[in-house]
């Protein structure tokens, strides 16, 4: 990335001396003798400097006015303002407009070199961030939710509409693997906060004792082992989006604190004595029906209503089976690019098996299956032998078995939950009986019942 510099200086001798000095140091520098010349270069994009070094008071106006125009036009680059008689109001305005520095003349060449080097580093970091944001914006448009089915079309339409709305909170619903993470990224990168951070957290993966520190941050000495200040996830997401996946797993006491932070738009770190202002939008997701969780006392009603300002439920892959014909080739192309494979054709037998499968793990399961097949492919044909799909669970000879897919569609927690549910069902909801079937203790099973919120499955005995 070239070191581009625009010098705005009306004193001819000083301007030429600055131009020679910085060109000797490797800068690609240009000189403008007034605001009109500089405006023509900047606003018409004839020259895109990473750094602008400008005298403040010029014959045709104040450089801060041009800086304000550049900021309004979202032009990149850092500005350094030079002045022979600057006052406090000018320096305050320069800071508010985002000037990198405000220097009084005369400035030594060594000091100027040092300031410009810092401004160049900052400008390059800004450019990399802007390029990354632009790439993510192109990558995560509403069209990324692939499918020709009516259900997929409705989701795309809603994502496009929601991305244009400056919402404060939104709730995503749907089964595991339906694409809630993808929807959250589309809403962020296609929306007005795309220039800010997107902070993602899976609430189910947070140890209970660390939840508060992760969300709200901590000061040094707030708890044993807290050796330094730590910014919480809400604070890190300020200016952008916080995506709370599996929010139904958030402990009730943390739900109350999260609600207060969202309502007050302020957060206080653990061990801190001051509140920090927040400016963020919240996207929450759960594969559970949170309305049922509220009725059964496992989720706070006030937090649920605060989060569900907008609600978008994503359809299962069973509801959009016709989309397989678009999803599979898209995943094949993705994994071809990642692995250097060249899979091009999918035989009818492979399509028949793909379309006969029930897809309990939804799009995530499909993606995992396609990845496996592409990685194991030995030519241009999609290898149906590696699908490893079963249209229905095989029957157990004794009737006492339990079938669980080992194709990536279920996590260990999902499998454990299924085992506990099956045992409770077999025992008629009796914890003692279910524990006996699993060769476990009643206390151990009771812990897992509470962990997976299976209380409604229990009998009174």
Kindly indicate the confidence band of residue 413, based on its pLDDT and cuts at 50, 70 and 90: confident
pLDDT at residue 443, rounded to an integer: 80
Domain range 4-136, CATH architecture? 3-Layer(aba) Sandwich (3.40)
Strands 241-245 and 281-286: parallel
- Within the chain, which residue ranges are assigned CATH 1.10.10? 412-457
pLDDT at residue 399, rounded to an integer: 54
pLDDT at residue 397, rounded to an integer: 47
- Any idea how long the chain is? 461
Round to whole Å and give the CA distance between 120 and 118: 5
Interval 353-368: pLDDT, tens: 999 998 989 999 999 9
Interval 59-102: pLDDT, tens: 888 999 999 999 888 888 999 998 877 667 888 888 888 899 98
Interval 226-274: pLDDT, tens: 667 788 899 999 999 999 999 999 999 999 999 999 999 999 988 888 8
Give the whole-number percent of the chain exceeding pLDDT 90: 56
Cα distances (Å, whole numbers) of residue 136 to 131, 157, 254, 388, 447: 9, 20, 32, 34, 42
Round to whole Å and give the CA distance between 323 and 337: 22
- Within the chain, which residue ranges are assigned CATH 3.40.50.2300? 4-136
Range of weakest confidence among 140-149, 287-296, 350-359, 420-429:
420-429
- Within the chain, which residue ranges are assigned CATH 1.10.8.60? 317-386
pLDDT at residue 157, rounded to an integer: 96
Interval 303-317: pLDDT, tens: 999 999 999 999 999
- Calculated CA dihedral for residues 114, 118, 124, 129, nearest 10 degrees: 180
Range of weakest confidence among 2-6, 361-365, 456-460:
456-460
Interval 159-185: pLDDT, tens: 999 999 999 999 999 999 999 999 999
Mean pLDDT of 364-393: 88
The CATH T-level fold of domain 412-457 is Arc Repressor Mutant, subunit A (1.10.10)
Options 3.40.640.10, 2.40.10.10, 3.40.50.300, 3.30.70.1110; CATH for 161-313 is 3.40.50.300
pLDDT at residue 433, rounded to an integer: 81
Long-range contacts of range 452-456, CB-CB < 8 Å, 24 or more positions apart? 452/413, 452/416, 452/417, 452/420, 452/421, 453/288, 453/293, 453/296, 453/298, 454/417, 454/420, 454/421, 454/424, 455/296, 456/296
Q: Tell me, what DSSP letter sits at residue 380? A: S
Q: 373 pLDDT exceeds 90?
A: yes
Interval 103-125: pLDDT, tens: 888 888 899 999 999 999 999 88
- Within the chain, which residue ranges are assigned CATH 3.40.50.300? 161-313
Mean pLDDT of 344-352: 94
Q: 461 pLDDT exceeds 60?
A: no
CB count, 10 Å around CB of 449?
A: 19
Q: 394 pLDDT exceeds 60?
A: no
Range of weakest confidence among 35-39, 266-270, 398-402, 413-417:
398-402
* Mean pLDDT computed over every residue of the chain: 87
Domain range 317-386, CATH architecture? Orthogonal Bundle (1.10)
Tokens standing for residue 55: 């005298």
Q: 460 pLDDT exceeds 50?
A: no
């Amino acid at each position: 990335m070239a070191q581009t510099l625009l010098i705005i200086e009306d004193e001819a001798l000083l301007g030429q001396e600055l131009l020679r000095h910085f060109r000797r140091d490797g800068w690609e520098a240009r000189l403008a003798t007034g605001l009109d010349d500089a405006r023509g270069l900047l606003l018409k994009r004839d020259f895109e400097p990473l750094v602008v070094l400008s005298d403040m008071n010029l014959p045709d106006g104040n450089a801060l006015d041009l800086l304000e125009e550049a900021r309004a036009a979202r032009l990149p680059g850092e500005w350094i303002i030079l002045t022979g008689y600057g006052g406090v109001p000018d320096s305050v305005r320069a800071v508010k407009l985002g000037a990198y520095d405000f220097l009084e003349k005369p400035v030594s060449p060594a000091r100027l070199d040092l300031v410009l080097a810092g401004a160049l580093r900052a400008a390059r970091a800004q450019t990399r961030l802007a390029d990354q944001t632009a790439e993510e914006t192109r990558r995560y448009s509403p069209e990324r939710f692939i499918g020709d089915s009516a259900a997929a079309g409705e989701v795309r339409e809603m994502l496009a509409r929601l991305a244009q709305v400056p919402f404060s909170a939104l709730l995503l619903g749907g089964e595991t693997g339906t694409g809630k993470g993808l929807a959250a990224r589309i809403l962020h990168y296609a929306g007005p906060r795309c220039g800010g951070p997107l902070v993602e957290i899976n609430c189910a993966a947070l140890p209970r004792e660390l939840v508060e520190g992760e969300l709200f941050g901590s000061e040094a000495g707030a708890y044993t082992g807290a050796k330094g200040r730590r910014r919480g996830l809400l604070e890190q997401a300020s200016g952008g989006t916080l995506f709370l996946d599996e929010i139904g797993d958030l402990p009730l006491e943390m739900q109350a604190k999260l609600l207060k932070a969202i309502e007050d738009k302020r957060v206080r770190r653990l061990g801190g004595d001051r509140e920090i202002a927040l400016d963020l939008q919240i996207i929450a997701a759960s594969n559970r029906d949170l309305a049922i969780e509220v009725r059964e006392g496992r989720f706070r009603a006030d937090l649920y209503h605060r989060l569900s300002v907008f609600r978008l439920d994503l359809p299962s892959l069973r509801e959009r089976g016709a989309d397989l014909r678009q999803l599979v080739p898209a995943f094949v192309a993705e994994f071809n690019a990642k692995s250097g494979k060249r899979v091009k054709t999918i035989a009818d037998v492979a399509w028949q098996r793909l379309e006969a499968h029930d897809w309990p793990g939804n799009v995530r399961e499909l993606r995992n299956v396609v990845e496996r097949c592409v990685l194991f492919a030995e030519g241009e044909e999609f290898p149906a032998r590696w699908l490893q799909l079963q249209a229905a669970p095989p029957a157990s000879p004794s009737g006492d078995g339990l079938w669980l897919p080992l194709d990536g569609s279920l996590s260990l927690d999902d499998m454990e939950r299924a085992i506990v549910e099956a045992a409770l069902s077999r025992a008629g909801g009796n914890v003692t009986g279910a524990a006996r079937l699993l060769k476990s203790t009643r206390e151990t099973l009771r812990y897992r019942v509470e962990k997976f919120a299976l209380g409604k499955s229990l009998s009174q005995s």
